[in-house]
Chain A
Amino acid sequence: SQTIHQWPATLVQPVGSPLSLECTVEGTSNPNLYWYRQAAGRGLQLLFYSIGIDQISSEVPQNLSASRPQDRQFILSSKKLLLSDSGFYLCAWSRQINTEAFFGQGTRLTVV
């Protein structure tokens, strides 16, 4: 069966510090991968999605970046965090277009 791992679950970082959130999927190959951000009381904002290694689409201009160094690994990074980067970050995967997306447990990021 397929599983998705996302870590860490919670993170408190000072303004200006770097960020690295990791997501890995097991039990499938060539998944579509997504990063979403959920601000408090708001919807799921698509940040990045990837259909293959080194094929990443950025949806929102910001100080975040994403990389996919391996087929089933998706990393969200920042060189310098802003207060506005606080939120709940969710990684997700799907097998192909127009199919169910499976979410990771999420990372609660607080920038102080």
Chain B
Amino acid sequence: GENVEQHPSTLSVQEGDSAVIKCTYSDSASNYFPWYKQELGKRPQLIIDIRSNVGEKKDQRIAVTLNKTAKHFSLHITETQPEDSAVYFCAAPQGGSEKLVFGKGTKLTVNP
């Protein structure tokens, strides 16, 4: 089955710095890799996703990179702002199934 490892578990940066969160997955058949943001007391929401036919995707200050050979993908946030403070989750489906497995989350704190 799919196993998703996420690092670091906590990350503290100064406003304006970049933040990088990394995930590895085990199922080589996985082909969809979403990232979710969960603000305190709220539900997780998708912020960006990438499919296995591309290596990088950007949306303003957020980017995701994928290395299928190494089975890892990363979330990059540039010019961080205090409102970026939240818990971020990566996820990957067990290849060929609807089973969506999440990492354990990264608590990002952006200090003003």
Binding site for B on A (CB under 8 A): 32, 34, 36, 42-46, 49, 51, 57, 59, 90, 94, 96-101, 103-106
Nearest chain A CB to B52 CB, angstrom units: 10
A32, A36, A45: the one within 8 Å of B98 (CB): A32
Given contacts A43-B89, A44-B102, A57-B99, contact A100 B46 (CB under 8 A): yes
Given contacts A42-B104, A97-B98, contact A104 B93 (CB under 8 A): no
Given contacts A90-B44, A98-B93, A106-B43, contact A46 B104 (CB under 8 A): no
A46, A104, A106: the one within 8 Å of B100 (CB): A46
Interface residues of B in 38-92 (CB under 8 A from A): 43-46, 49, 51, 89, 91
- Whether B98 contacts A103 by the Cβ 8 Å rule is no
- Whether A43 contacts B102 by the Cβ 8 Å rule is yes
